[in-house]
């Protein structure tokens, strides 16, 4: 006889419940957690994204711009641009204020570019965490 395995189904949450929290978490790093009254986690996330982004700017890292060409170039530059944009208001303020770092050879600038991308990716993780909290999958 075949054994039947019970499949645990995740609770479904309407888009109108989680979308504002995730959008808030994207625009202002840590704000989604503040909204959910997770103040300690919100401050930690906001500080880590902000400090990482500021280190990237102080190291004069470059912001990625979408580029086409071969497949690898397209993936790297488009993905890097997406990751930069995930920093939310930090990215938009920086570009609005005219920050534009031309491609400069050097290790410090290269690390700065990676820090800018890392700040955006950390904010993506914060957005996923806010989504899991608001959907009841995580406490």
**DSSP secondary structure string for all residues of the chain:** -PPP-PPPPPPP--HHHHHHHHHHHHHSTTHHHHHTT-HHHHHHHHHHHHHHHHHHHHTTPPPP----SSHHHHHHHHHHHHHHHTTTHHHHHHHHTT-------SHHHHHHHHHHHHHHHHHHHHHHHHHHHHTTS--
For the ranges 15-19, 25-29, 98-102, 109-113, the lowest mean pLDDT is seen at 98-102
Whole-structure pTM value: 0.85
pLDDT at 7: 67
Show me where the domains of the chain are located.
15-134
């Amino acid at each position: 006889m075949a054994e039947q395995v019970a499949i645990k189904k995740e609770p479904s949450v309407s888009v109108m419940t989680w979308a504002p929290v995730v959008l808030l978490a994207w625009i202002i790093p840590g704000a989604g957690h503040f909204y959910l009254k997770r103040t300690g986690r919100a401050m930690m996330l906001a500080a880590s994204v902000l400090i990482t982004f500021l280190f990237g700017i102080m190291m004069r890292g470059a912001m990625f711009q979408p580029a086409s060409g071969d497949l690898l170039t397209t993936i790297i530059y488009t993905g890097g641009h997406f990751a930069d944009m995930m920093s939310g208001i930090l990215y938009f303020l920086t570009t609005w204020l005219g920050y534009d770092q031309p491609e400069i050879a050097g290790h410090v600038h290269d690390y700065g570019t990676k820090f800018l991308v890392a700040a955006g990716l950390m904010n993506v993780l914060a957005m996923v965490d806010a989504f899991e909290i608001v959907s009841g999958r995580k406490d």
